[in-house]
Amino acid sequence: VVVCFWRMSVGFIGAGQLAHALVRGFTAAGVIATQRITASSPDTDLPTVMGLRKLGVNLTTSNKETVSKSDVLFLAVKPHIIPFVLDEIGPDIEDRHLIVSCAAGVTISSIEKKLQQYRPSPKVMRCMTNTPVVVREGATVYATGTHAEVEDGKLLEQLMASVGYCTEVEEDLIDAVTGLSGSGPAYAFTAVDALADGGVKMGLPRRLAVRLGAQALMGAARMLLDSEQHPGQLKDNVCSPGGATIHALHVMESGGFRSLLINAVEASCIRTRELQFLADQEKISPAAIKKTTLDKVLQQPGVAAAGVGVRSGGISLFSSNSPRTKKN
């Protein structure tokens, strides 16, 4: 029996893949009632928006409305949208709000800096999760910001643990996590696709091949997670002397299988850092933002062009151009 222990309200800025996946997971876990969830997006035509509506989530085009209705606020928009969102909702953040950014490469300090124009001690956390939260097998890590308390971390951990594995890390590890488990499902999908190709080549029907490939990976992962043994030992246990498996493994080693995977994790991590660096350094022109998105954001009541950093010379990320003075 799953008990809905959450009395808090959860909001999502952004109603795309991530928000949809998380809500589906939370719903399956029964950890929070969907009436307590609000999501906002300027684009109401997205399939994920319709999916969220079907789940019973309150949908709005107003980020401000989401903020006012939430205690825990997930920032589930693309990294380059984050600064716009922060400028827009900054004035509406209250003491109770726990801001959880899921944007790859966006640092806690950059978010805190933005929000500190409006409040002295914004509670910010950063998390990196992955799409299998949708089936409650997510891999999530989170880092705690300057003004977030231990209880805030525990709160987030409880919520995310309902949809998979969740643990706290130092923020500087999050890029590596992105490379490993953030991108990880894509590696797995590619692997299963290729394994299925192998099966099909050797005579299996495609559907069966995909099913068996996915089941093999899932079963192996389950064995490993349940075992104290090193994966190398588990691998040995499968390889009978002179048998089929050891022959196949040799082929894999010859193809540099291991180093490919190491390279992939490294590439994803490095790219994440690059994107963050670019975000910190560059000015992004309005052309880089989807025009429709920007227009819709600008149409929101209470949103002024200056307030979201649109200047004739381009948009500067993370720079303060608000007429409000800094509070101390």
Give the residues lining the site for another protein (CB under 8 A): 229-233, 236, 250, 253-256, 258-259, 262-263, 266
Which residue's CB is nearer to another protein, number 256 or number 302? 256
Which residue's CB is nearer to another protein, number 47 or number 255? 255
Which residue's CB is nearer to another protein, number 146 or number 237? 237
> Minimum Å distance from CB 32 to another protein?
34
> Minimum Å distance from CB 188 to another protein?
20
> Minimum Å distance from CB 113 to another protein?
27
d(CA 303, CA 297): 7
The string of DSSP codes covering 228-297 is SS-HHHHHHHH--TTSHHHHHHHHHHHTTHHHHHHHHHHHHHHHHHHHHHHHHHPEEPGGGS-HHHHHHH
Which helix (H) or strand (E) element contains residue 25? helix 17-29
> Minimum Å distance from CB 259 to another protein?
4
d(CA 22, CA 109): 25
> Minimum Å distance from CB 168 to another protein?
16
At which residue do the structure tokens 């409880």 appear? 158
Which residue's CB is nearer to another protein, number 216 or number 248? 248
Local structure of 51: helix, strand or coil:
helix
Which residue's CB is nearer to another protein, number 240 or number 281? 240
**How do beta strands 123-128 and 138-144 pair?**
antiparallel
